[in-house]
Amino acid sequence: MTWFESPILAIETSCDETSAAVVVGRSSLSNVVASQVEMHRKWGGIVPEAAARAHVESILPTVKEALEVAKISKNELGGIAVTNRPGLVGALSVGVTFAKGMAYALQIPFIGVHHLEGHLLSVFANNEITIEEHVALIVSGGHTELVHVRGLGEYEILGQTIDDAAGEAFDKSARLLGLGYPGGLALQQLAETGTPRHPLPKGLSGPTLDFSFSGFKTAVARLVASDSSLSRPDIAASIQETITSVLTDRALRAVDSLNAKTLSLVGGVAANKMLRQKLSAECARSGITFLTPPLNLCTDNAVMIGIAGSWRLAIEERSGSDLDCFSMADL
């Protein structure tokens, strides 16, 4: 494992957070996240055009703050890392255009980073972990993937969702319960006061490593509509119990199938307390090392992009002025 030695400015604008961070090696000196959640909440979801415009407004103050907090002048930067795929193209292009301009002005290298590689490498932030090969469960608003990380940069998808992502299952269920957007955390909080008494479908059966949450979503809609006197905390607890047990089962199945020694849990849904507890307990029981980042590095942030960029720049990778943005991209 090798990391870039000079300070790197990292920028993340793939969705609804404008984030900038300064990273040296794998240590974060700052992590500024300007969330657009309040704006999108009005519409009950992300409006891509509005997201892109909001990034334009917040990118400069966010970058300035990241440099100030890190007490680093722009002239001390040795490189820039920026998310260029996958994500909302209008939103991504704000970060990418900014990074290109700044790298050109400062005459320093820059690197386009895959958002999911950022999530994968978030477990290496601010620590000394050297484990490379492991199984990773990436669970976010847009992705649910089980990945065999053979080593940094060598990723094999073991399983993925065939319809909705786990975060979407949380968000859509939360909306049905009137909890607003994004609903993962609000649903977790409501679930803490309830009991999981309603059985809900767990999606695909059999030995698969794929996921399906569309039948689950329909069942939640039916359950909510069936009887307005049902306890909302109980419904929330049932939702959380079902989603977390499906994710836990599949992740452990993947670990078993490869006889892996380490499991990581990353992405926004990795902030879910019950999921963290279940996976950590199961791993402890089976003697498997469990890695997961602190809560603020689960949801979208620029530190994870900086860590991935720090590694890619250290192995001499560089992007050029023709770096493009992509709504979809293989890991």
Given the rule CB under 5 A, which residues bind Zn ion? 140, 300
- As a whole number of angstroms, the distance between CA 14 and CA 206 comes to 35
- As a whole number of angstroms, the distance between CA 95 and CA 83 comes to 7
- As a whole number of angstroms, the distance between CA 289 and CA 199 comes to 31
300 binds ligand KG4 (CB under 6 A): yes
Give 93 or 140: the residue with its C-beta nearer to Zn ion: 140
188 binds ligand KG4 (CB under 6 A): yes
- As a whole number of angstroms, the distance between CA 86 and CA 52 comes to 15
Which of 30, 36, 93, 140 is the binder for ligand KG4 (CB under 6 A)? 140
271 binds, among Zn ion, ligand KG4, none (CB under 5 to 8 A by kind): ligand KG4
194 binds ligand KG4 (CB under 6 A): no
3-state secondary structure of 40: helix
184 binds ligand KG4 (CB under 6 A): yes
Closest-approach residue to ligand KG4 (CB): 268
Number of residues that bind ligand KG4 (CB under 6 A): 19
Q: How far is the CB of 271 from ligand KG4 (least distance, A)?
A: 4
Q: How far is the CB of 17 from ligand KG4 (least distance, A)?
A: 7
Handedness of CA 24, 320, 58, 61 (dihedral sign): positive
Which of 8, 9, 15, 149 is the binder for ligand KG4 (CB under 6 A)? 15
**Are the beta carbons of 190 and 238 closer than 8 angstroms?**
no
Torsion of CA 21, 45, 41, 245, to 10 degrees: -80
- As a whole number of angstroms, the distance between CA 118 and CA 275 comes to 20
293 binds ligand KG4 (CB under 6 A): no
Among the candidate windows 140-148, 149-157, 219-227, 304-312, which touches ligand KG4 by CB under 6 A? 140-148
Query: Per-residue x/- marks for ligand KG4, 253-292, CB under 6 A?
Result: --------------xxx-xx--------------------
Give 245 or 257: the residue with its C-beta nearer to ligand KG4: 245
Query: Cα separations (Å) of 329 from 85, 89, 212?
Result: 6, 12, 21
Q: How far is the CB of 104 from ligand KG4 (least distance, A)?
A: 28
3-state secondary structure of 71: coil
Handedness of CA 159, 160, 162, 166 (dihedral sign): positive
Contact set with ligand KG4 (CB under 6 A): 15, 140-142, 167, 170-171, 182-185, 188, 267-269, 271-272, 299-300
